Structure 1
Amino acid sequence: MKKFLYISSVLIGAALFGCTDLDLIPEDTVTPESYFSNETELRLWTNAYYAMLPDADDLNDICADDVVKNILSDVLLGNRLPATEGGWNWGDLRKINFYFQHCGNCDDVNARNHYDGFSYFMRAFFYYEKVQRYGDVPWYDEVIGSKDNELLFKARDSRKVVMAHVMADLDSAINKLPEAHTPYEVNKWTALALKSRAALFEGTFRKYHNLGDWEEMLQLSADASLELIQKGGYSLYKEGSTPYRDLFARLEAPAEEIILGRRYSTELSILHNTQCNSMTGNQRVSFTKRFVDHYLMADGSRYTDIPGHEKKQFVDEVTGRDPRLAQTILTPGYVQMGTEKEMINTLSKYTLTGYQYIKFVMEPKYDQSNKSPMYYPLFRLAEVYLNYAEAKAELGTLTQNDLDISVNLLRDRVGMPGIDLEEANNNPDPYLKADVTGYPNVTKSAMTGVILEIRRERTVELCLEGFRQWDMFRWKEGKQFTHEFHGVYFPGVGKYDLNGDGRNETALWKDEPVSGLGLTKYQLGVDFFLTNDTEGYMWPHKDVKRTWDEDRDYLWPIPTEERVKNHNLTQNPGWDDGLSF
């Protein structure tokens, strides 16, 4: 069941309406004509919107080239089909449009502004997600009745038309929502953050997919981002010696950075699996070597420029890197919160690649399935910084000051040198430009180098927050999903020290078992595979075939059932549903 981002009034609403759909008004007590008459009724209705937002398990289920798990997604496996596509649903939109149809019953202007703004935000969010998935979709801004044939059998509107409506709805939300910082409730700054995100997605998607009219969207993203940066009053969370790790290992959202978070509660049994996925091996969620290679050295130099970096063993590989690496994956010296003993990399027990994540991990009492009560970030300032820098770079207008008020603040939080605009553009990273390891479709321009650096920063900073698949889609880099997923490197069978204390605690063997007490032993070809049999990288999904169709796979198919019902719905390019219209 989808978990609710809750506030106290949601509980009131649940008591009033029970567990049924909130667009069903009790017929024996109220009617739409008499409801929506005061602030309380508007609040109770719109609180149901929070269930429409993604939760931690939704976002952590997304695989891409940075994170893989035991069972790969249909996107990576090429298993999406028109006959089984299930995302073409409009119930949430009906609830929002039902509100707009009846909210005029309320004479309280202040209440109307607040909840009208929230409704505009949610309609924009709804359609942004639909455009991400399907491209062209029909735009509806009213409730459709069973006899409204013209609307029921409407054709799809172009994504450009729909996204223009999304931007207009967001502008209405920005103008109407309150400015107070409310990390668990949508406010003006949440609407600006969504505008920043949605306009960046649409602008870069149009640019890299040659759809035209991309500049205006990128400018809208840059402008919304800058307004939030300059006027929002938010700042980066910097407490403690490991601020990046601690930002995500908390029960409550830090209001200085989190613009909107989803709250969870042990007392109310509203929980998620984020910690369990790491600490018990549930789904074996694992980072890839491609992801780990994005991290710079602590002095700002490129790890992938080091001769022989490809074959560095685990301890050497993770030593001296950007501090966020050790605050994101289990590295030597890691001690779980609430404990005193150092945890050692156990390779295949919890992961498929040897790279176990510790982001979102707190005390061991939360290790079990569906026990994580930590808040989960939906919008935070760091993303807005990244959106701003990327939009300006893709427009070709990025300056050093733009970097210094955005991305470089993220690096400064962890003591990393900032991006130097001139140096980045004069010396683009060959690893990030390469066909297999990088982003071969990146814009070839005077800004190529800094665009690559911003992508590096986005990959590192926003991992496990639901962005990566969509970033690769909008950058037209889907072919990267077909490359082999690799993990930690081993030069051969034998004994290994994986925590750097000088003692071997891990052993790999193939035909002859390794002797020795206190060793965790793994048989190659049974416990896991290496790319060259007894030497190479850990190789999950060794025999799994993955395909990618550049002309088809950036959009989902329109469900066959919906096209049968409505012959005016065209199918997305490349998807064959057997229908002749």
Structure 2
Amino acid sequence: MKKIISDILKGGLPLLCLGMTVTSCDDFLDRKPLDQVSPSEYFKTADQLGTFTINYYTRIFPNNSGWFGGVATFDNGTDNQAARSGNSGMYLQDQWKVPTSGGLDVYAIRDVDKFINESEAKIAKEEVTGTPELINQYMGEAYFIRAMLYFDKLKTYGDFPIMLNELNIDKDLVEASKRQPRNLVARQILSDMDKAIDKLQVNFANKVRINKYAALAMKSRMALYEATFEKYHRGTGRVPGDANWPGKNKEWNKNFTINQDDEVNFFLDQAIDAAKKVCDAVPLSTQNNHVMNPGTVGNFNGWNPYYDMFASPNLTKYPEVLLWREFNTDINVAHLTSNKLRGGLSSGWTRGLVESFLMKNGLPIYASGSGYHGDTTVDLAKTDRDERLQLFVFGESNDLDIDQKSIDLINKQRVKEGKPTITKLLFDAATLFATDQASRDVTGYRQRKFYNYDPAMQLGQTFSDVDGQIIIRVEEAMLNYIEASYLRTGSLDATATGYWTALRARAGITAPISTTIAATDMTKEADVNRPSYDWAAFSAGHPVDATLYSIRRERRSEFAGEGLREDDLIRWAALDQVKNYQIEGVNFWDQIYQSPSFVDKNGVSLIIADGGANATMSAKTLSKYVRPYQIQTTNNILYNGYTFYQAHYLSPFSYQEMQLCSPDRNAENSNLYQNIYWPVEANGEAIK
């Protein structure tokens, strides 16, 4: 039994330098592995403290590296973005099951606990050399990392054991596995963040290492997440104090009390305070010059500073970017995002996302006088719209390639074929029928955010893209403030209005916020019979008010394609009403289907829409919009669309770990009690 427990909980420390050269990576990697070094022999200098914390960056932040589109795919599986295979685990009942086995995965928390406790003791005894500023910096990183590790557990499981000392896996497992109410876990997270914020430097290592303002912005995210989760999930059994909360009958909770309203307000206040501190210190200074296309061959960068903020190797120069990941081909740390975006990504933005963007006059597309041009082409759908849509989705008239060598090669072939030459290569039409599935557009709305026009960034046979990856930017803190302050007071204060106006102005929207709210019709936004309705129009199955929805829509527009959508939908309890929802893409059957791009070199149409095994497009009788999960009728588990199950708001614990964490080895009596609507049985499906 002890060996099983050890296998579940033990783990090592990942070693990766990431090109963040505050200390020498070469010297560090030449040392003995940390599990072979006694604590008394190591962590005696500030630089040594820094070598510990740097190892956790790839653990706590999204990873842009690998043979895929990286950050440009992080919204896949939501109503914002669709991957080729869909999100069957989240939106089908029989695909996500209680694991038979699997560990708590607390080894990282255990190791950071040990590091913090032993290092703080050494620092108190003045046994660590180095400047106080550098020692504090790295200890601040450690507290930040522990908070992030626990934040991941909070989002995944809700209630979770709080372990602040190194766990003895042979003696302490059952006792240490007692799940604590999620609000107490969240308070511990914020306590660690406060310690981090107190110790961290304002600007450190060109913002490629954790710093004070990044920590403040992240604290605002954490606090807002918990406030809104507790607000919108109340009464479901997922919030401490609910009548059906599974932790209420546990012996260690017998004296637990909670005022649910006070807890929500506490976390809202924390979010407001943290967000305002960073927003007041960091200006929104990188402006959109309203140029929507490069325009000149060879003009890869510099044509729009706002666009470049998402497609530049060096993000230090952008004040809004509070923390970012640096890439460098010299040390073989690069990614493939631009290459994948150039070819199709095997992904795509959805009709629902595209339709949610406002017109530049501040009106929703359905409002009287909006001036909406329709969507028979992607260009028309983008015309006179919020410039975040215009900039960050490829349309038929957008440049795809402005490299002269590539254009010359294309023209050489076109001359052979008797075709006229081109001066630039336009996007023209989505690669909806590419035989290479990895290079196929799924919806027809191809993301352009993070696409660098420099051909050196697009080499597919090797990792060549070294554009920096944004991890935290101040715009999130602005939107966190707007949402938290509105929920706290029921109105928009001057600060919130100022932040919101600045975000809209940069997107080319000059109309007052009140114009947008007045024109927002919740009977349309929350109409579940409208195929492209916004899931965020709901919380706990009920429509929200027009102001709150407008705040959520702004967040959707600002962070489209950046990977925040699923967390937002979960904390808002915005999935209850999702039943047989069909993901849709471009309006294919009105005009786009006539594109010459959809005919092969022999003049044969690539469009097969009969629903058979060889079908390449969804049938016009289903919808004039692309339905990527209704192309083929057989062996297609998502044919009937997405349906959400209540259990899926939180993850289940494995049956084995519930047994191991039970005083009598009976999973039903486990200190690691199962989440609501998940059964206490291996391979069990969601009950509700």
TM-score normalised by L of structure 2: 0.74
Q: 1: CA distance between counterparts of 2:564 and 2:503?
A: 17
Q: 1: CA distance between counterparts of 2:592 and 2:547?
A: 42
Q: 2: CA distance between counterparts of 1:33 and 1:322?
A: 58
What is the SS of the residue equivalent to 1:56?
A: coil
Alignment check: 8 A CA contact 2:482 2:500 kept = yes
1:297 matched residue in structure 2: 359
Do residues 226 (structure 1) and 276 (structure 2) align? Answer: yes
Q: 2: CA distance between counterparts of 1:84 and 1:271?
A: 37
Alignment check: 8 A CA contact 2:163 2:176 kept = no
What is the SS of the residue equivalent to 1:157?
A: coil
Offset from partner CA, 1:76-135 (integer Å, 9 cap, x none):
445222216868411221221121122132425434322221111111111111101110
Q: 1: CA distance between counterparts of 2:159 and 2:191?
A: 17
Q: Among 371, 387, 390, which residue is 2:483 paired with?
A: 390
1:8 matched residue in structure 2: 21
Q: CA RMSD in A?
A: 3.3
Q: Among 545, 549, 562, which residue is 1:465 paired with?
A: 562
Tell me the CA shift for residue 446 of structure 1.
13
Do residues 66 (structure 1) and 86 (structure 2) align? Answer: no
Offset from partner CA, 1:429-486 (integer Å, 9 cap, x none):
5433333513443499998222111111111111121100111111111243841001
Q: Among 226, 237, 255, which residue is 2:286 paired with?
A: 237
Aligned partner letter, 2:566: Q
Q: 1: CA distance between counterparts of 2:659 and 2:471?
A: 36
Do residues 137 (structure 1) and 152 (structure 2) align? Answer: no
Do residues 96 (structure 1) and 112 (structure 2) align? Answer: yes
Alignment check: 8 A CA contact 2:91 2:645 kept = no
Q: 1:86 to 1:154 in 2, by over 3 A?
A: closer
Q: 1:346 to 1:388 in 2, by over 3 A?
A: same
1:342 matched residue in structure 2: 426
1:569 matched residue in structure 2: 672
Q: 1:493 to 1:334 in 2, by over 3 A?
A: closer
Q: 1: CA distance between counterparts of 2:324 and 2:201?
A: 17
Length, aligned pairs only = 559
Do residues 488 (structure 1) and 512 (structure 2) align? Answer: no
Q: 2: CA distance between counterparts of 1:536 and 1:80?
A: 32
Counterparts of 1:241-390 in structure 2 under 5 Å?
241=291, 242-253=304-315, 254-282=317-345, 284-305=346-367, 312-314=375-377, 315-336=379-400, 338-339=402-403, 340-348=424-432, 349=434, 350-362=440-452, 363-367=454-458, 368=460, 370-390=463-483
Q: 1:121 to 1:112 in 2, by over 3 A?
A: same
Q: 2: CA distance between counterparts of 1:570 and 1:82?
A: 13
Do residues 560 (structure 1) and 658 (structure 2) align? Answer: no
1:36 matched residue in structure 2: 43
Alignment check: 8 A CA contact 2:133 2:201 kept = no
What is the SS of the residue equivalent to 1:276?
A: helix
Q: Among 90, 98, 121, which residue is 1:75 paired with?
A: 90
Tell me the CA shift for residue 333 of structure 1.
2.6
Do residues 524 (structure 1) and 609 (structure 2) align? Answer: yes
Do residues 124 (structure 1) and 147 (structure 2) align? Answer: yes
Tell me the CA shift for residue 403 of structure 1.
3.4
Counterparts of 1:151-170 in structure 2 under 5 Å?
153-170=176-193
Q: 2: CA distance between counterparts of 1:524 and 1:121?
A: 52
Tell me the CA shift for residue 278 of structure 1.
2.0
Offset from partner CA, 1:528-551 (integer Å, 9 cap, x none):
333534861111011433554543
Q: Which runs of 5+ in 1 are unaligned?
A: 497-503
Q: 1: CA distance between counterparts of 2:371 and 2:288?
A: 36
Q: 1: CA distance between counterparts of 2:387 and 2:495?
A: 23
Alignment check: 8 A CA contact 1:190 1:259 kept = yes
What is the SS of the residue equivalent to 1:378?
A: strand
Q: 1: CA distance between counterparts of 2:430 and 2:605?
A: 8
Offset from partner CA, 1:399-453 (integer Å, 9 cap, x none):
2523333122112113212552476168545433333513443499998222111
Q: 2: CA distance between counterparts of 1:516 and 1:320?
A: 38
Moved more, 440-449 or 341-350: 440-449
Do residues 455 (structure 1) and 552 (structure 2) align? Answer: yes
Alignment check: 8 A CA contact 1:274 1:360 kept = yes
1:48 matched residue in structure 2: 55
What is the SS of the residue equivalent to 1:377?
A: strand
**Which structure would you say has the larger Rg?**
2
Alignment check: 8 A CA contact 2:402 2:425 kept = no
Alignment check: 8 A CA contact 1:222 1:387 kept = yes
Aligned partner letter, 2:231: K
Q: 1: CA distance between counterparts of 2:364 and 2:46?
A: 55
Q: Among 194, 199, 206, which residue is 2:218 paired with?
A: 194
Tell me the CA shift for residue 516 of structure 1.
10
Aligned partner letter, 1:462: F
Aligned partner letter, 2:337: T
Q: 1:563 to 1:13 in 2, by over 3 A?
A: farther
Alignment check: 8 A CA contact 2:652 2:678 kept = yes
What is the SS of the residue equivalent to 2:607?
A: strand
Q: 1: CA distance between counterparts of 2:324 and 2:49?
A: 22
Aligned partner letter, 1:196: S
Q: Among 195, 199, 203, which residue is 1:180 paired with?
A: 203
Offset from partner CA, 1:243-301 (integer Å, 9 cap, x none):
4322111111144111011112222221223223322234x111110010111112222
Q: 1: CA distance between counterparts of 2:675 and 2:220?
A: 27
Aligned partner letter, 1:572: N
Q: 2: CA distance between counterparts of 1:6 and 1:334?
A: 34
What is the SS of the residue equivalent to 1:196?
A: helix
TM-score normalised by L of structure 1: 0.87
Do residues 24 (structure 1) and 35 (structure 2) align? Answer: yes
What is the SS of the residue equivalent to 1:225?
A: helix
Q: 2: CA distance between counterparts of 1:165 and 1:522?
A: 56
Alignment check: 8 A CA contact 1:347 1:355 kept = no
Alignment check: 8 A CA contact 1:442 1:448 kept = no
Aligned partner letter, 2:526: K
Q: Which runs of 5+ in 2 are unaligned?
A: 1-13, 240-259, 292-303, 404-423, 435-439, 631-635, 663-670, 684-688
Q: 2: CA distance between counterparts of 1:33 and 1:86?
A: 33
Aligned partner letter, 2:122: N
Alignment check: 8 A CA contact 2:373 2:381 kept = no
Q: 1:421 to 1:344 in 2, by over 3 A?
A: same
Moved more, 57-66 or 188-197: 57-66
Moved more, 322-331 or 445-454: 445-454
Aligned partner letter, 2:648: D
Q: 1:343 to 1:579 in 2, by over 3 A?
A: closer
Alignment check: 8 A CA contact 1:298 1:323 kept = yes
Offset from partner CA, 1:543-568 (integer Å, 9 cap, x none):
43355454311001112231122122
Tell me the CA shift for residue 524 of structure 1.
2.9
